[in-house]
Amino acid sequence: MKISDSLTDLKGIGPKRAEALGRLGLFSLRDLLYFSPREHYDLREAKRIDSLSHGEYACIKVESIDQPKMSYPIIGGRRTSLVTVNVSDGTGRLRLSWFNQPYVMKNIPDFARGYVHGRVDLSRGAVMANAVFCVSPPGMLPVYPLTRGLGQAAVRSCVRSAICALRGQYGETLPEELRMKHGLCQLGFALENLHFPVNPEALRMAKRRLSFENILSFTILLEAVRSRTFSSPGIEFDTEGSIESFVDLLPFRPTDGQFAVMRDIERDMASSVPMNRLIQGDVGSGKTILAFYAMFVCAMSGRQAALMAPTALLAEQHFVQLESMFGDKAAILTSGMKKAEQRAVLERISSGEAQYVVGTHSLIESGVVFRDLGVVITDEQHRFGVRQRAVLGGKGLSPDVLIMSATPIPRTLSLILYGDLEVSRLTELPKGRKPVATKYVPPEKRGDMYRYIEREIVSRGIQAFVVCPMIEDNDEVPLACSAESVFAELKDMLSVRVELVHGRMKPDKRDEIMKRFRDGEADLLVSTTVIEVGVDVPNACIMAIESSERFGLAQLHQLRGRVGRSDKESFCFLLSESRSETAAERIKTLTSSNDGFRIAEKDLETRGPGELLGQRQHGSSSLIDAYMLADMQTLADARDTAVFMLRSRSKDDRRFVEDTLGKYSKVLENIAIN
């Protein structure tokens, strides 16, 4: 078999499993082998039952096993099968349990010696749910991002099949001289040990090799984008006196940081080279006003400016502000508008009457024609794919581009991820904002915390968020609180108006609930991370985050930014049942700092670059995985090597550069906004 072959060519992958793998963006053997595990459970050695920690995933040596039992308890009003069996290793006893899996009864071995592994729950005695029996310790077990209809065992089986089918036939992609110079292992060793490493050192070597090559390719693409961007002529806007004129329209005085970024934008827009700028700043740091300034400069030169927001709710918020400043020159376009309203807005856009245009993905529809588009702005850029930004940019002749992101990214990583962009940073909050007080809440105080939130809502007239890591209960992560279960619990427990919102709802329904919350028609909103962007509720002063150990530091900081958006005292409560040192260290970082960039640096140290940017996007090229694998030194080395190879006259170096540009030509087209 070849690495480019389809997954359906592998034995054991039928149409149903192939469909599930496709939802993860996995279609070929290459996709599967470059699909990076989220983490590994180190199960090379068995642990003693009397030394187990709550929440850990562990392997136990079974010295004795009792007769298994089948029972049928009533759970949630339904009769459910429950298989249980007690095992011992001589230091203690452990109960193994399986809900809704009656077939397990036949698969429980009757031998006295062997091993079992699974997640440990010490909250109700020593219990291991959905345990797996094996004849020897399984080694370092990969843990993958999953989708509906696909469990960890199934993904591991598919990866093993791919490795067996390709062993010795991976080929090599890096020039030998370069690989030896940087001490990089061979591709085959890297791919096999990325998934099933023989030890932690082999995993480190595999990650370093793959991340080096991915960043090398990615940097070559970015340099190609940069050269293309600066070779095309841009629009020279008239910026004389623009900052003073714009500030006169505002009901407040911008911060020093906002003035500095305005000067960056002014310099870019006056230049004949297209602006390609990223503005980074914490939630609430005032990025929106900077977007409005770029739109103002554009409109003053008689051209049109487009601002694309990730949600209809956020687009509406922007439109209200733009309309109050610029009257009927502002227009909004969303998919939820009536057809007649949409037609009227489209006519105003095509005629040029609408100069300040804001909308959602509707702006990139084929029917949207701008008369003279001069500036393209995307808000919360990590919510848009590069293809979407490119389509919007393509609606004008080399328009200036401004991208805004509230995800704090360390400077070194920014150079690599946004090598084709100029970067401005906002590091101060507007005057009058109070920092959010962040507190850790232990499991035994959880009920008291919710009673406190209820009292604060009633006595102060404020609102609150509760964020959960998942929508519904999942056996794969039994310790995580789901939004549905927390919503049901709080609706019965509290005497305030509780609403639920999550990503599986239809967008119109989701926007309707968020709008009710924004308008004060709900007191407490239980949600998943869908509220991370697109909700500006100054009256929301408390946020509680369930199972906070399941979020990255940078994401927790991003979520925390949804409160503290007024001069009222605000709190963020972090709940966690995890007893790991890592979870404790991350909670300590958040409770001691509100500096998003310092927190991002810490996240980079503890979890790697991937956690800053979120998990692998469905259907993405394997370049995306680079962020999930690299350490900063490897990133820097690979970037330096890419710059050297682009200038090199060596045949091997030139061949690698040409192969990269050819292999990822579609990616290059999508990245190239200008």
C-alpha to C-alpha distance for 406 and 415, rounded to whole angstroms: 17
530 or 412: which leads in pLDDT: 530
Q: Is residue 465 part of a domain?
A: yes
Residue 411: its pLDDT value, please? 56
Q: Is residue 613 part of a domain?
A: no
Least confident of 182-186, 552-556, 647-651: 552-556
488 shares its domain with 585: yes
Confidence of residue 492 (pLDDT cuts 50, 70, 90): very high
Confidence of residue 612 (pLDDT cuts 50, 70, 90): very low
pTM summary value: 0.60
Residue 95: its pLDDT value, please? 95
C-alpha to C-alpha distance for 244 and 130, rounded to whole angstroms: 65
Q: Is residue 643 part of a domain?
A: no
465 shares its domain with 395: no
Q: Which of left, alpha, beta for 70 (phi over 0: left; psi -120 to 50: alpha)?
A: beta
Place of tokens 């919710």: 450
Q: How many CA atoms lie within 13 A of 92 on its CB side?
A: 13
Residue 382: its pLDDT value, please? 46
384 shares its domain with 459: no
Backbone angles phi, psi at 250, to 5 degrees: -90, 145
Is residue 324 pLDDT above 90, yes or no? yes
C-alpha to C-alpha distance for 68 and 94, rounded to whole angstroms: 13
Confidence of residue 622 (pLDDT cuts 50, 70, 90): very low
Least confident of 27-41, 156-170, 265-279, 612-626: 612-626
- The model's pLDDT over 67-88, given as tens digits with 9 standing for 90+, comes to 999 999 887 678 889 999 999 9
- The model's pLDDT over 241-258, given as tens digits with 9 standing for 90+, comes to 999 999 999 988 998 999
Domain closes at, from 154, 171, 188: 171
CATH code of the domain containing 88: 2.40.50.140
585 or 497: which leads in pLDDT: 497
399 shares its domain with 535: no
Q: Mean pLDDT in the chain?
A: 84
- Beta-carbon contacts of 591 under 8 Å, excluding residues fewer than 6 positions away, are 438, 439, 440, 574
558 shares its domain with 442: yes
Q: Is residue 387 part of a domain?
A: yes
DSSP state of 56: -
The number of folded domains in the chain is 3
Containing H/E element for 84? strand 82-88
540 shares its domain with 444: yes
Confidence of residue 669 (pLDDT cuts 50, 70, 90): low
- The model's pLDDT over 115-153, given as tens digits with 9 standing for 90+, comes to 999 999 988 789 998 999 999 999 999 998 888 888 899
- The model's pLDDT over 350-404, given as tens digits with 9 standing for 90+, comes to 999 999 999 987 887 778 899 999 998 987 654 444 455 556 666 767 788 898 8
455 shares its domain with 563: yes
Angle, in degrees to the nearest 10, between helices 287-300 and 312-326: 50
Residue 252: its pLDDT value, please? 87
Residue 623: its pLDDT value, please? 45
Residue 344: its pLDDT value, please? 95
- Expressed as residue numbers, the domain containing 90 is 36-171
Q: Which of left, alpha, beta for 380 (phi over 0: left; psi -120 to 50: alpha)?
A: left
Give the number of other CB atoms < 10 A from CB of residue 515. Answer: 15
Q: Which of 1-5, 388-392, 571-575 has the highest mean pLDDT?
A: 571-575
Domain closes at, from 593, 610, 645: 593
Mean pLDDT of 395-422: 68
Instruction: Tell me the CA distances in angstroms from 186 to 33, 180, 189, 190, 630, one per residue in order.
Output: 14, 10, 5, 6, 17
314 shares its domain with 246: yes
Is residue 617 pLDDT above 70, yes or no? no
Q: Is residue 526 part of a domain?
A: yes
- Beta-carbon contacts of 647 under 8 Å, excluding residues fewer than 6 positions away, are none
Residue 399: its pLDDT value, please? 85
Confidence of residue 587 (pLDDT cuts 50, 70, 90): confident
- Are the CB atoms for 558 and 334 separated by under 8 Å? no
- The model's pLDDT over 434-467, given as tens digits with 9 standing for 90+, comes to 788 999 998 889 999 999 999 999 999 999 999 9
Residue 42: its pLDDT value, please? 94
Q: Is residue 323 part of a domain?
A: yes
398 shares its domain with 446: no
Q: What is the DSSP string of 587-604?
A: HHHHHH---HHHHHHHHH
467 shares its domain with 574: yes
- The model's pLDDT over 154-176, given as tens digits with 9 standing for 90+, comes to 999 999 999 999 988 888 889 88
| Radius of gyration (C-alpha) of the chain in whole angstroms | 27
45 shares its domain with 146: yes
563 or 405: which leads in pLDDT: 563
60 shares its domain with 155: yes
Residue 488: its pLDDT value, please? 92
Is residue 517 pLDDT above 70, yes or no? yes
Burial class (CB in 10 A: 0-12, 13-18, 19+), 96: buried
Residue 666: its pLDDT value, please? 62
Domain closes at, from 155, 171, 187: 171
Residue 335: its pLDDT value, please? 84
- Are the CB atoms for 131 and 117 separated by under 8 Å? yes
- The CA-based diameter of the chain, rounded to the nearest angstrom, is 85
- The model's pLDDT over 180-203, given as tens digits with 9 standing for 90+, comes to 999 999 999 999 999 999 999 999
C-alpha to C-alpha distance for 650 and 411, rounded to whole angstroms: 32
CATH code of the domain containing 496: 3.40.50.300
Residue 613: its pLDDT value, please? 36
Q: Is residue 609 part of a domain?
A: no
Q: Is residue 330 part of a domain?
A: yes
